[in-house]
Amino acid sequence: MYLFFVDGRDIGEETARITGPDVNHIKNVLRMKPGDKVRISDGESLCYNCVIESFSEGEAVVKLLSKDEDGTELPAEIVLFQGLPKGDKMELVIQKTVELGIHRIVPVATKRAVVKLDAKKAEARVRRWNAISESAAKQSKRTVIPEVSPVMGFREAIDSAAAFDCRLFPYENAEGMDYTRKILSEVKPGMRIAIFIGPEGGFEEEEVIYAKERGFLPITLGRRILRTETAGLALLSALMFRLEK
């Protein structure tokens, strides 16, 4: 069943309105008609099974059949702090981590990041990245749209995760896999988990020291060196299998 995101203010007690580009997609691309069933979400917590009642100029009216209680969200809040990668790799990271269940993505400007964004470019990129997140959320039938936050500096990003229950810092010089397995075995539903991934050039030593001082746990992801766009996906996949019901 296709999923569409709607403004929570457009969801009533018995019906809801779908507006914007999705209306054209429903009518002219999917060729759906009154009587066809869809799912809608307010992008935060509410999700409903619905049936299309009618179309008018620029909107579709759907009847609410039942609240979708099953959901598709992981039972933990996982935030990815991603060191800015080169080219369009950030788009890949966003698309795939949204599919895997990430809660939020924070782009981080580290010392060795090749990409340097001024305020204007950063704002435009963040808009595009959020559009990619929404598209991936629709494709994977998420009930929320993970936010891609504005770009943060390294120390600001580390400090913003101070209250998280678990702070993971994949690092090539970390201890062996037994330690990683031990840390991951302690992850439980309901936790807030931060994952911090470095850019292509890795972390400066002073960045590693600062992260350790703030409670981040350096872990290894194996004997092979993973690319920046692979490391977060590998760790998030391990957490998904640990947490998924």
- Ranges of each domain in the chain: 3-67, 77-243
Express each pLDDT in 100-144 by its tens digit. 999 999 999 887 675 677 777 888 899 999 999 999 998 898 988
The angle formed by the CA atoms of residues 58, 61 and 65, to the nearest 5 degrees, is 155
- The mean per-residue pLDDT over the stretch 12-35 comes to 92
The SS3 assignment for 82 reads strand
* Average per-residue pLDDT for the chain: 90
pLDDT at 98 over 90: yes
**Dihedral in degrees, nearest 10, Cα atoms 138, 104, 45, 34:** -10
Average pLDDT (8-35) is 91
Q: Does domain 77-243 have CATH number 3.40.1280.10?
A: yes
- Which fold would CATH assign to domain 3-67? Ribosomal Protein L25; Chain P (2.40.240)
Whole-Å CA distances, 167 to 119, 183, 194, 198, 236? 28, 10, 5, 14, 13
Bridge partners of 63, per DSSP, are 15, 51
Question: What separation, in Å, do the N-terminal and C-terminal C-alpha atoms of the chain show?
Answer: 21
**Same-fold call for 3-67 versus 77-243:** no
Q: How many CB atoms lie within 10 A of CB 95?
A: 18
Going by the DSSP 8-state scheme, the letter that residue 9 receives in this structure is G
Strands laid side by side in the 3-5 sheet: 3-5, 37-41, 47-56, 59-67, 15-19
